[in-house]
Amino acid sequence: MGGKGFDWLRQTGTETLRPFLFTIKGTCGTRSGRGWKGFYPMDNPILVTGGAGFIGSNFILQWLRQETGGVINFDKLTYAGNLRNLASIATDARYQFVHGDIVDRDFVREVLQRHQPSAIVHFAAESHVDRSIHCADDFIRTNIEGTFVMLEEARAYWANLAAAGRERFRFLHVSTDEVYGSLGPGEPGFCETTAYAPNSPYAASKAASDHLVRAYHHTHGLPTLTTNCSNNYGPYQFPEKLIPLTIVNARRGKPLPVYGDGLNVRDWLYVEDHCEAIRAVLSRGKVGETYNIGGDTEKTNLEIVETVCSAMDELKGDAQLFPHKKLVIFVKDRSGHDRRYAMDASKIKRELGWAPRETFESGMRKTISWFLENDEWVREVTSGQYREWMSTHYALEP
């Protein structure tokens, strides 16, 4: 057993890796496999949960480009976790992957003890609204119970740090604008004091986790920070979400499903801008505070799909697919579909000096180019082959 990644870990010559078996049972299905748990020391890295997902992997790549410290990526590798995203840094001495579940309390404790992180950036979550409508069990388990475990273990770990470590430690919880519910046309964007009104099981599970984070700061003094961000798009996004799904289907001449009348509005932000905002909050944010992050880029879903179609037309690929707009199909609406999200990001701009670098046009250009240039990634993800790749490289079963 053991693939390239772990051979490399062994070469660091520090500690023996231990094999483990896992079976994840949920009412939505059962998955089992085997993996490795192993450790080697790094100087005060940050611990990132969910770092093999869309935003987490962009964050880790950006962190290693922009910061000096190391990163431990703690991820369960659900269908949404793809280590292929991080293949370019797999042998970077400042990066280590740890396969684990945030609900596994003993293992979370062990990881914190062994790695001594200076901060936790908590991305791990079930993140797709449609899946939460179909079956919410994993959302309750990971988003609520998992966040509870992370908070409990972070609290115990933090309480035992020496004074300087205690002073420096942060628990940054990554959340969403969806906790605030839906806006009517013309209503001002959500701000940090907007009352919570989550409408989907996903949003409700994230709202519950936000409340727990707030309580652990208020009651126990845990140095928490919370970020609530609008819809992200960019490289490595799993093609079950609107923008990557539209690009991938348009390329292949497949239908482009638009829910309901297509006039639901989202506020879009390029993923790298979100990652920069998280780094700004981590380094300069005020403990116990919440920061809303958004792109001031409200678009209807139909506008998004039409933007992708026009870009694909300009590329003048397969003439038979021209104009791509003809691939649009209106399908049954999502149950409880929120009509409009918009973020008021003035607090983070004013207090931390953050602002998005990308416009919608430049971000979409980068995103479309990335998906067209990374056809192999797309093929592996859409065919499920990425799980085989991870199995070969990381001794996990597909």
Residues that bind ligand TYD (CB under 6 A): 129, 231, 241-242, 245, 257-259, 264, 266, 301, 334
Residue linked to tokens 């990308």 = 358
CA-based nearest residue to 71, from 53, 56, 87, 81? 56
User: Taking the complex as a whole, how short is the minimal distance between the CB of residue 3 and ligand TYD, in angstroms?
Assistant: 32
Stretch of 75-83, 277-285, 327-335, 358-366 contacting ligand NAD, by CB under 6 A: 75-83
Distance CA 109, CA 90 (A): 24
User: Taking the complex as a whole, how short is the minimal distance between the CB of residue 165 and ligand TYD, in angstroms?
Assistant: 36
* Residue 77 binding ligand NAD, by CB under 6 A: yes
* Residue 210 binding ligand NAD, by CB under 6 A: no
* Residue 54 binding ligand NAD, by CB under 6 A: yes
Stretch of 173-181, 302-310, 326-334, 351-359 contacting ligand NAD, by CB under 6 A: 173-181
* Residue 33 binding ligand NAD, by CB under 6 A: no
Let me know: does 77 contact 396? Beta carbons within 8 Å.
Answer: yes
Q: For strands 46-49 and 119-122, give the pairing.
A: parallel
Which listed residue (75, 138, 153, 177) is catalytic? 177
Which ranges of 160-241 would DSSP assign to H, the alpha helix? Answer: 163-168, 201-220
Give me the amino acid identity at 315.
L
Let me know: does 94 contact 70? Beta carbons within 8 Å.
Answer: yes
CA-based nearest residue to 17, from 2, 33, 32? 2
* Residue 217 binding ligand NAD, by CB under 6 A: no
Which listed residue (95, 157, 180, 202) is catalytic? 202
* Residue 48 binding ligand NAD, by CB under 6 A: no
Distance CA 66, CA 80 (A): 25
Choose from ligand TYD, ligand NAD, none: what does 80 bind? Cβ within 5-8 Å by kind.
Answer: ligand NAD
Alpha-carbon separation of residue 15 from 6, 8, 174, 228, 378 (angstroms): 12, 12, 32, 38, 36
Contacts of 61 (CB under 8 A, 6+ apart): 85, 86, 88, 89
Active site residue 177: yes
User: Taking the complex as a whole, how short is the minimal distance between the CB of residue 45 and ligand NAD, in angstroms?
Assistant: 17
Choose from ligand TYD, ligand NAD, none: what does 257 bind? Cβ within 5-8 Å by kind.
Answer: ligand TYD
Contacts of 119 (CB under 8 A, 6+ apart): 46, 47, 168, 169, 170, 171, 172, 282
* Residue 229 binding ligand NAD, by CB under 6 A: yes
CB nearer ligand NAD, residue 142 or residue 249: 142
Which listed residue (101, 178, 273, 306) is catalytic? 178
Instruction: Note the Cα 317 to chain centre separation in Å.
Output: 32
Q: Please report, as residue ranges, which positions from 95 to 134 form the binding site for ligand NAD (by CB under 6 A).
A: 101-103, 123-125, 127
* Residue 371 binding ligand NAD, by CB under 6 A: no
Stretch of 87-95, 161-169, 172-180, 377-385 contacting ligand NAD, by CB under 6 A: 172-180
Distance CA 178, CA 203 (A): 5
Choose from ligand NAD, ligand TYD, none: what does 264 bind? Cβ within 5-8 Å by kind.
Answer: ligand TYD
CB nearer ligand TYD, residue 99 or residue 340: 340
Residues forming beta bridges with residue 293, ordered by sequence position:
229
CB nearer ligand NAD, residue 133 or residue 321: 133
- Binds ligand NAD (CB under 6 A): choice among 5, 33, 35, 56: 56
CB nearer ligand TYD, residue 73 or residue 264: 264
User: Taking the complex as a whole, how short is the minimal distance between the CB of residue 266 and ligand TYD, in angstroms?
Assistant: 5
Let me know: does 201 contact 187? Beta carbons within 8 Å.
Answer: no
Let me know: does 291 contact 228? Beta carbons within 8 Å.
Answer: yes
Let me know: does 57 contact 271? Beta carbons within 8 Å.
Answer: no
- Binds ligand NAD (CB under 6 A): choice among 45, 49, 235, 356: 49
Q: For strands 290-293 and 256-259, give the pairing.
A: unpaired
Active site residue 233: no
Active site residue 202: yes
Mind telling me the catalytic residues?
A: 177-178, 202
The contact set with ligand NAD (CB under 6 A) reads 49-50, 52-56, 75-78, 80-81, 101-103, 123-125, 127, 142, 146, 174-176, 206, 229, 231-232, 238
